[in-house]
Structure 1
Amino acid sequence: MNPFVFSCITPHGGEIIPELSGALPERMHLTRSSMQNIGKKMQAANPDVIIVLTPHGTRIDGMFSISHSEKMSGILEEHGATYEMTRDVDRELAAAITEAAQNKGIPAASINFGAAAGPASQLRLDWGVIVPLAFMPHVPIVVINPSRELPFDQHMRFGQVISQSVQKSEKRVALIASCDWSHAHDLDGPYGFHPAAKALDEEVIHYMKNNELEKLADLDPDYIEAAKPDGIWQTIILAGAIPAASRRIQFLSYEVPTYFGLICAEVQ
């Protein structure tokens, strides 16, 4: 069963946001256009809350971390421009996911900052959340960070827990897996060049187009390390949350305008 009103796999390069595109707005034009289309469909789905899976937020070694502050806020800077965002957190859904995961023996913890409640209870938003949400309706969120110390089967099980928690909720919930892909496409990039980057991105595209997201869990760890994607963990959680039999993927776009791969896909 797919309990989500809308789901998607999106990238999070800062330049995708029009206000941060700088002097080269055409550089991520294809991805930006796909994100605008996804945003329109998310708006039409009318969610009450959006769950965002991000690799860049507050990490807890060996545990899934789930936002449980009153609000989250952040600032993203690119090309001398800034983009600010503040969102309320759906603390009820966040707590339900945490409790359900813990009851299943999955290592998960709620996280907060500043105060238990009120204006001082405010976690930081990372770019893995800000970029996709810049195109989405302004509704409360739940932000979840995976843990790379945990095996892929735990990520799949955690996705199932998210799905079960959403099914028990009376809210209209959407899901975003915020994912950039291989980061080793460019010799001059921060991670250098490795031929595994192109090969892994091509495999990911194949699995998406064939609705075989579960096969990402079979990729060799050394191959993953060479290519340096940051999207596998979030995508496997999504695969657990929306089983293949209930899942339909519309692949929208892929490009490598800088040193890392950008993929946009709708998951329904």
Structure 2
Amino acid sequence: MGILAAYVVPHPPLIVPAVGRGEERRIQSTIDAYREVARRAAALTPDTVVLVSPHAPLFRDGFFVSDAAEEAGSMDRFGAPHEALATTGDVAFARDLARRLAERGIPVADGRAGRGELDHGSFVPLHFLAAELDLDDVRVVRLGLSGLPAADHRQVGRAIAATAADLGRRVVLVASGDWSHHLAEDGPYGFRPEGPAFDAELRAILAAGDLTRLFSLDEALCEAAGECGLRSFQIMAGALEGLPFTGELLSYEGPFGVGYGVAAFAVEDADEPGEATAGAAAGPTPVDGADPLVALARQAVEAFTRTGEIIRRPADLPPELGERRAGAFVSLHERGQLRGCIGTIEPVRRCLADEVIRNAVSACSRDPRFPPVEPDELDFLEYSVDVLGEPEPVFSLEQLDPARYGVIVSHRGRRGLLLPDLEGVDTVADQLSIAKAKAGIRPDEDAEVERFEVVRHTAGGKARRG
């Protein structure tokens, strides 16, 4: 447990379609990268999202850390009052973090300073995360920046990582911030040569993952560039310090005269299955003749349900499961009724075995439609694992067959998936209707459609007791 990943994201209000009204299409690369970040974050099934925003309350000599039990916000000031969302705070995390900062001599203002109102630097990332994460389930801790030196922002990041580790939280950190505001003469802030120079430096740093360089950028360059995200990114760098991570710059563009960059940093082995964790029960011997993926899903579910621990990848698995990467869904049924189903459309882990372990744990504990599986249910569960092929675009409904192909529907950041060959789903119209409903897409809204094939693994998945 601890920091699982961190993401650099921008916060232009117009990227929200209700605000942009079509203008957001000019930053489609940013939108696509944002959606990818949301998918990756959701796949990690975090307990808490720590969100650092330049537009949260700002203090000259201290930091805002919201310990509010609930916060809410909307795009009202940008002409879209009905675009609203609410979050639940992680009060224990926020207060522990504040205590750690106080011990370091860093002043903290609590949730009363923010009045429980989400700023747009927080709202925009949450808008995208909400398409993949259930904000009723995941806790959010919102932080602001300060006028204190970069070293203090680094200390805030270190304190976030320490709090996450000590409290056993699965934490994703989101560093919200735009880059230079002086990229174009016709932009809202005009042009300065330092603008593109600063953004070029930042692109190189994030692409290389050399985050220590964030603390040695020329102060005059940063000031003249008119950036607003550097201190957010410095907090992120502090949180990742000492952790093994891989990073990539997913996108960068600035058509409106402001730099928008998206980068992702995944902590290696933060949630990486392998052998059973210390003290974790490995579970009973798999059913004879069971498919290895089904046996792995059963073992993961039973260990997590009994101990709360995530098993590590067994060493004796077939080589293909430790080498191949693919999206996968794990489905649980109890006495003929669905009891949980969670999966990943595309691979987000190192191998298929790790994908199945994590999705099995999520299916038994984090499917929002059902309460977590209890130990006395384990003998009655049935298991199946669907391994997804590569999605491909659909240009005609004649290309669909609900018995053979699953579908993915997408519209304005919302995405819904339906597996093939489901009982009661006999027509293409039924399949698309259900997939749209899962994504929150209205029946009359057009949606992009993709299809995919699956290999369903069921051998050895029957319940031990009927």
- Matched with 2:26 is 27
Mark the CA change 1:183 to 1:7 in structure 2 (over 3 Å): closer, same or farther: same
Residues 190-231 of structure 1 show CA distances to partners (whole Å, capped at 9, x for unaligned) of: 322101110100000101111112212212222111101111
1:133 has 2:126 as partner? yes
Rounded to whole Å, the distance in 2 between the matches of 1:236 and 1:79 is: 29
Q: 1:70 deviation in Å? A: 1.9
1:154 has 2:152 as partner? yes
Kept in 2: contact 1:21–1:79 (CA 8 A): no
- Matched with 1:117 is none
Q: Which has the higher contact order (CA 8 A, sep 6+)?
A: 1
Moved more, 194-203 or 16-25: 16-25
Mark the CA change 1:49 to 1:193 in structure 2 (over 3 Å): closer, same or farther: same
Q: Which runs of 5+ in 1 are unaligned?
A: 115-121
TM-score computed with the length of structure 2 as normaliser? 0.53
SS of the counterpart of 1:67? coil
1:253 has 2:246 as partner? no
Kept in 2: contact 1:20–1:77 (CA 8 A): no
- Matched with 1:44 is 43
Matched letter for residue 41 of structure 2: M
Rounded to whole Å, the distance in 1 between the matches of 2:220 and 2:113 is: 36
- Matched with 1:118 is none
Q: Which runs of 5+ in 2 are unaligned?
A: 267-466
SS of the counterpart of 1:72? strand
Matched letter for residue 103 of structure 1: E
Moved more, 200-209 or 211-220: 211-220
1:238 has 2:236 as partner? yes
Mark the CA change 1:60 to 1:26 in structure 2 (over 3 Å): closer, same or farther: same
Kept in 1: contact 2:64–2:113 (CA 8 A): no
Mark the CA change 1:63 to 1:113 in structure 2 (over 3 Å): closer, same or farther: closer
- Matched with 1:55 is 54
Residues 153-196 of structure 1 show CA distances to partners (whole Å, capped at 9, x for unaligned) of: 11111211111111101221111000110001122333221011
Mark the CA change 1:107 to 1:80 in structure 2 (over 3 Å): closer, same or farther: closer
Rounded to whole Å, the distance in 2 between the matches of 1:38 and 1:23 is: 22
Q: 1:80 deviation in Å? A: 4.1
Q: CA RMSD in A?
A: 1.8
Q: 1:15 deviation in Å? A: 1.9
2:188 paired residue among 176, 187, 190:
190
Rounded to whole Å, the distance in 2 between the matches of 1:15 and 1:113 is: 27
1:222 has 2:215 as partner? no
Rounded to whole Å, the distance in 2 between the matches of 1:81 and 1:98 is: 34
TM-score computed with the length of structure 1 as normaliser? 0.91
SS of the counterpart of 2:252? strand
Kept in 1: contact 2:178–2:259 (CA 8 A): yes
Mark the CA change 1:113 to 1:102 in structure 2 (over 3 Å): closer, same or farther: closer
Q: 1:71 deviation in Å? A: 1.3
Kept in 2: contact 1:17–1:32 (CA 8 A): no
Residues 93-150 of structure 1 show CA distances to partners (whole Å, capped at 9, x for unaligned) of: 0000000111122232323269xxxxxxx51101111101111111220000110x21
Q: 1:3 deviation in Å? A: 2.6
Q: 1:79 deviation in Å? A: 7.0
Rounded to whole Å, the distance in 1 between the matches of 2:80 and 2:109 is: 34
1:85 has 2:85 as partner? yes
Kept in 1: contact 2:74–2:80 (CA 8 A): no
Kept in 2: contact 1:65–1:145 (CA 8 A): yes
Kept in 2: contact 1:22–1:78 (CA 8 A): no
Moved more, 64-73 or 101-110: 101-110
Moved more, 238-247 or 152-161: 238-247
Q: 1:242 deviation in Å? A: 0.3
Rounded to whole Å, the distance in 1 between the matches of 2:99 and 2:128 is: 30
Mark the CA change 1:194 to 1:51 in structure 2 (over 3 Å): closer, same or farther: same
Structure exhibiting the larger radius of gyration computed from Cα positions: 2
Matched letter for residue 8 of structure 1: Y
Identity over aligned pairs, percent: 29
- Matched with 1:106 is 106
- Matched with 1:96 is 96
Matched letter for residue 63 of structure 2: F
